Amino acid sequence: MISKFSKEIFLFTRFLLFTLSIIGSISCSSRNENTVTFLHFFNGTQEQKAIKYLIENFESKNNCNVDVKFYDYSLGPNELISILTGNQKNDVIAFNSEWLAQLRDNGLLYDFPEEKNIDTSYYHLLIDYCNTRGKSHCLPWLVNTRLLYINRKITQDNKIVNPPLDFQQLLDYSVMINEREKYFGTGLVGPSKQAMFKNIMPLLLSFGGDLADSTGKLDLNRNNNSTGIYFYLKLSRSGLMETKREIENQFIEGHIAYCFSDLSLIQKLIEKNVLHDFMIEQIPQNGNKPGISYTDAVMLGVSSKSTKKELSLKFIKELSEWKFNNGFSKDLLKYGVPARKNYLFTFFQDSIISVISKQITNSKLAPKHYKWYDIETIIENEIEKAIYTEKSVEGSLIEAQEEITSFLKRNRK
């Protein structure tokens, strides 16, 4: 027989459990109503873990949910545009900076409310790139650039004490190393068209070239555009030309003295615990003019169709501020480093960060053009012909300009 006291305890416990379930239900309902979707392309296991850490911090702090969705980056901006114009709900979008103009001109990005105080902790060129005619369409999250990588052992074996000051010295060192037939002088990307284009761009820019004029109009036939490409060909004769993956593998294994690459190579060096065996330097000078690199970034924007714009803005601001302790993981290095200059890294030296920061500051992004993805493909195809001597460099650039002009006439806004 149950005592009166036991019965009261039993009833009280039932009441307490019922109350807690109601509170939990209300809390769950509140979190579900306070949900934003995050559409991104980080599909690797380690990358997803790194992103998950950032998302969970935001959810906990703001009592909300972030529903993660993926898209296939390899299919280009048209795949993302198709998703954003469909019926699915999307709020926050991560995308390549080179796709910004196409997304903006298709009306897919929400224009951020104007802010009086511009945040100066971002790299200035990235904030400029996010803005068009006084309107801001996104925030920079990760930034990637091209650098010069140097094998310490090979240069020491060849009595080379310092990094090359300029491109001519790089060529001289490469020729000397290559002629001794023990190592390759410089490793350059050839067969991978997109990677080759991005590695040629620092030379094209450093030798006074550019893909567009001061008004943003594409002009491949500008003076000096061919000079940097010809120098790339000169360097290729003092080493090895292969795919990006093969060049980086040969470099890490100690067969190549110099190579140009983005920050994904730093990630590989860290993972193999050999970063100390290599030097990372800025793009060499051209004479007495600083070398200019080619930069791209992962941007965060809000879908113009989002019904949670306020929470979405809060989410991308917190992500881009990188305020969480150790929030940035080396697993994200293949996409770049935080776009805020003052981020404190824990896994490599300040001297490397200084090189990266200075190079980003002295770099250029792709022309902000609504058909840049297609235009870049045309340029890549024509430059490939020049590299493999099917055409002269000048002939390839003229052909690319004509193809672009014809393409844009067929695809007017």
Which pLDDT belongs to residue 247? 98
Which pLDDT belongs to residue 87? 86
Which pLDDT belongs to residue 25? 40
Contact criterion met (CB below 8 Å) for 64 and 51? no
Q: How many CB atoms lie within 10 A of CB 377?
A: 16
pLDDT at 71 over 70: yes
Range among 11-25, 38-52, 351-365 with highest mean pLDDT value = 351-365
Which pLDDT belongs to residue 382? 94
Closest CA to 233 of 392, 408, 399, 31: 392
pLDDT at 223 over 50: yes
Average pLDDT in the chain: 89
Please report which confidence band the pLDDT of residue 23 belongs to, taking 50, 70 and 90 as the band edges: very low
pLDDT at 117 over 80: no
Which pLDDT belongs to residue 70? 93
pLDDT in tens, 46-55: 888 889 988 9
Which pLDDT belongs to residue 165? 95
Q: Which CATH number fits domain 37-144+296-350: 3.60.9.10, 3.40.50.12780, 3.40.47.10, 3.40.190.10?
A: 3.40.190.10
CATH 3.40.190.10 segments of the chain: 37-144+296-350, 147-261+371-410
Question: Is-above-0.85 flag for pTM?
Answer: yes
Spatial separation of the C-alpha atoms in residues 199 and 155, rounded to whole Å: 22
| Tokens matching residue 203 | 């030379």
Q: What mean pLDDT is predicted for residues 271-294?
A: 96
Give 303's DSSP letter: B
Q: Are strands 131-132 and 278-281 parallel, antiparallel or unpaired?
A: unpaired
pLDDT at 203 over 60: yes
Q: What mean pLDDT is predicted for residues 27-44?
A: 77
More confident residue, 400 or 192: 400
Which pLDDT belongs to residue 9? 56
Q: What mean pLDDT is predicted for residues 350-354?
A: 91
More confident residue, 390 or 68: 68
Q: Poorest-confidence range of 234-248, 286-300, 319-333?
A: 319-333
Please report which confidence band the pLDDT of residue 391 belongs to, taking 50, 70 and 90 as the band edges: confident
Which pLDDT belongs to residue 7? 54
Q: What mean pLDDT is predicted for residues 234-257?
A: 96
Number of helices followed by number of strands (H, E) in the chain: 15, 14
Phi, psi of 31 (to 5 degrees): -65, -40
Q: How many CB atoms lie within 10 A of CB 143?
A: 28
Contact criterion met (CB below 8 Å) for 138 and 299? yes
Q: How many CB atoms lie within 10 A of CB 150?
A: 22
Q: What mean pLDDT is predicted for residues 201-210?
A: 97
Which pLDDT belongs to residue 26? 39
pLDDT in tens, 84-115: 999 888 999 999 999 999 999 999 999 998 76
Task: Give 60's contacts (C-beta < 8 A, 6+ positions apart).
Answer: none
pLDDT at 116 over 80: no
Where does 147-261+371-410 sit in CATH, by number?
3.40.190.10
Q: Are strands 256-261 and 139-145 parallel, antiparallel or unpaired?
A: unpaired
Contact criterion met (CB below 8 Å) for 51 and 42? yes
